[in-house]
Amino acid sequence: MKLLLFADLHLDTSFAATPFPAGVAGGRRAALRATLERITALARSERVDALLCAGDLYEHDRFSPATAEFLRDAFEDVAVPVHVAPGEHDRYGPRSPYQQVAWSSNVHVFTEDRLVPEPLADGVTLWGAAHRAPVTAEGFLTGFEVGRGGVNLALFHGSEVAGLAGQGSGTAPHAPFTAEQVEASGLDHAFVGHFHTPVDAPRHTCPGNPDPLTFGESGPRGAVLCTVHDDGRVERVRHDVSTSRVHDVAVDLAGAAHVDEVRERIAAAAAGLTGTARVTLGGEVGPDVDLSPAGLVSAAPHLDALVPRFGNLVVAHDLTALAEEPTVRGRFVRDVRADPRLDDDTRRRVLVTGLRALDGRTADLAVH
């Protein structure tokens, strides 16, 4: 049996909490729709027996009638059984689109906040559950036992406890479970959403979000083609179905003396890239370099967007010469250098920020 698994698409997300520029948010939402179309096309081309969604298909608070129509048509056109286990962002409830959309007969949405069985084929059972509230503290595998023969699979949205720390500080522990609980419950394998960094464990699979939702994401995310054998073993092949490209690039500005040189180095680092790029600027630059982000975002006009940020950036002032000036600036440098309460790093930050403020450079005070 062949199954295609995906999760955490987050249709209609606002991208308000990400560093993506506001001007590209609409395009990013369109890309998420295109990604789902690539997922359903893959399901058809691979002739899978079912398409599985492990939750967070959309954003409950931003869901639109147009998205409802899009999802209904996409799942009807895939022409194979579709099983959905709602997560915390697309939770099942009275106002849920899952209740309001007239789904085609091939779509099955799990509605109970406990694992319930649904036959996939002779001898193969899919156990699914739904989040029915924004926060689900109890895990679906707590106290659960299969109690039947054949191949038993699970589909839900939850946090594998041991892997939670590796998912980043923004990942909350919804419906927690342990890898040991999967086998102890009698399940052969669990297909799980919520983790955006992919996980291929012996008895559970987290596909990760299939299209970028922020910068810094890692791992071969996408849709996972799962071949389920008669003994319950699952073989996995990941497919890149993303329609967006998001890059993190480090740019060394060591020795740069003017903003044109900074822009040239950013352009060189971004050459050949497509989509959106975040450039982290580091190195020692001259004191007259204007590093205000507004002056840098157009350095790579071929990109959808460029997002500059400051890393380990040092401004090379001649502090000895400045300290000898009979000016307010000279007095400031002397006082800061003599202050015993400051460690070396804090002293450098205070000097850089203060000197740029005294020079009227308030737009790029984020340099550190």
| DSSP state letters, 331-357 | HHHHHHHH-TT--HHHHHHHHHHHHHH
191 and 257 inside one domain: no
Q: Is residue 366 part of a domain?
A: no
Tokens representing 205 are 């699979």
196 and 287 inside one domain: no
Q: Which of 239, 274, 290 is the last residue of a domain?
A: 239
Task: Please give the mean pLDDT across all residues of the chain.
Answer: 90
229 and 271 inside one domain: no
253 and 231 inside one domain: no
CA atoms within 13 A on the CB side of 53: 28
Q: Is residue 365 part of a domain?
A: no
Question: What's the confidence (pLDDT) of residue 310?
Answer: 85
**What does the pLDDT look like over 240-263, one tens digit per residue?**
999 989 999 999 999 898 899 999
251 and 229 inside one domain: no
**What does the pLDDT look like over 180-239, one tens digit per residue?**
999 999 999 999 999 999 999 999 999 999 999 988 888 888 999 999 999 999 999 999
280 and 218 inside one domain: no
Task: Please give the share of the chain, as a percent, with pLDDT higher than 90.
Answer: 66
Give the mean model confidence (pLDDT) for residues 165-182: 79
Q: Which of 209, 239, 269 is the last residue of a domain?
A: 239
56 and 196 inside one domain: yes
211 and 352 inside one domain: no
Using an 8 Å Cβ cutoff, are 188 and 155 in contact? no
Give the mean model confidence (pLDDT) for residues 266-270: 96
Q: Which of 239, 255, 290 is the last residue of a domain?
A: 239
Q: What burial letters (b/e) apply to 114-144, b meaning 16+ CB within 10 Å?
A: ebeeeebeeebbbbbbbbbeeebeebbbeeb
Is the sign of the CA dihedral 239, 243, 248, 253 positive or negative? Answer: positive
Cα(230)–Cα(38) distance, integer angstroms: 29
61 - beta bridge partners?
none
- For the cut 70, the answer to whether the pLDDT of residue 338 exceeds it is yes
| pTM of the model as a whole | 0.84
DSSP label of 26: H
Question: What's the confidence (pLDDT) of residue 228?
Answer: 98
Q: Is residue 364 part of a domain?
A: no
37 and 160 inside one domain: yes
- At residue 246's C-alpha, the angle toward residues 240 and 247, to 5°, is 115
- For the cut 60, the answer to whether the pLDDT of residue 169 exceeds it is no
- For the cut 80, the answer to whether the pLDDT of residue 365 exceeds it is no
Q: Say which residues have a Cβ less than 8 Å from residue 199's Cβ, sequence separation at least 6.
A: 160, 163, 192, 205, 206, 208
211 and 83 inside one domain: yes
Question: What's the confidence (pLDDT) of residue 303?
Answer: 94
Tokens representing 151 are 């191949």
Question: What's the confidence (pLDDT) of residue 364?
Answer: 54
**What does the pLDDT look like over 114-131, one tens digit per residue?**
999 999 999 999 999 999
Give the mean model confidence (pLDDT) for residues 284-293: 81
Q: Is residue 255 part of a domain?
A: yes
- For the cut 80, the answer to whether the pLDDT of residue 22 exceeds it is no
349 and 253 inside one domain: yes
Q: Is residue 368 part of a domain?
A: no
Which range of residues forms the domain containing residue 193? 2-239
209 and 324 inside one domain: no
pLDDT category at 367 given cuts 50, 70, 90 is very low
Cα(32)–Cα(213) distance, integer angstroms: 9
Cα(285)–Cα(252) distance, integer angstroms: 10
Q: Is residue 269 part of a domain?
A: yes
Give the mean model confidence (pLDDT) for residues 345-360: 79
Question: What's the confidence (pLDDT) of residue 197?
Answer: 92
Give the CATH number of the domain where residue 232 resides.
3.60.21.10
Q: Is residue 367 part of a domain?
A: no
Q: Is residue 280 part of a domain?
A: yes
Question: What's the confidence (pLDDT) of residue 26?
Answer: 84
Strand runs labelled E in the chain? 2-6, 50-53, 82-84, 107-109, 116-121, 124-128, 151-157, 159-160, 176-177, 189-193, 199-200, 204-206, 223-228, 234-239, 246-252, 276-285, 305-315
The total domain count for the chain is 2
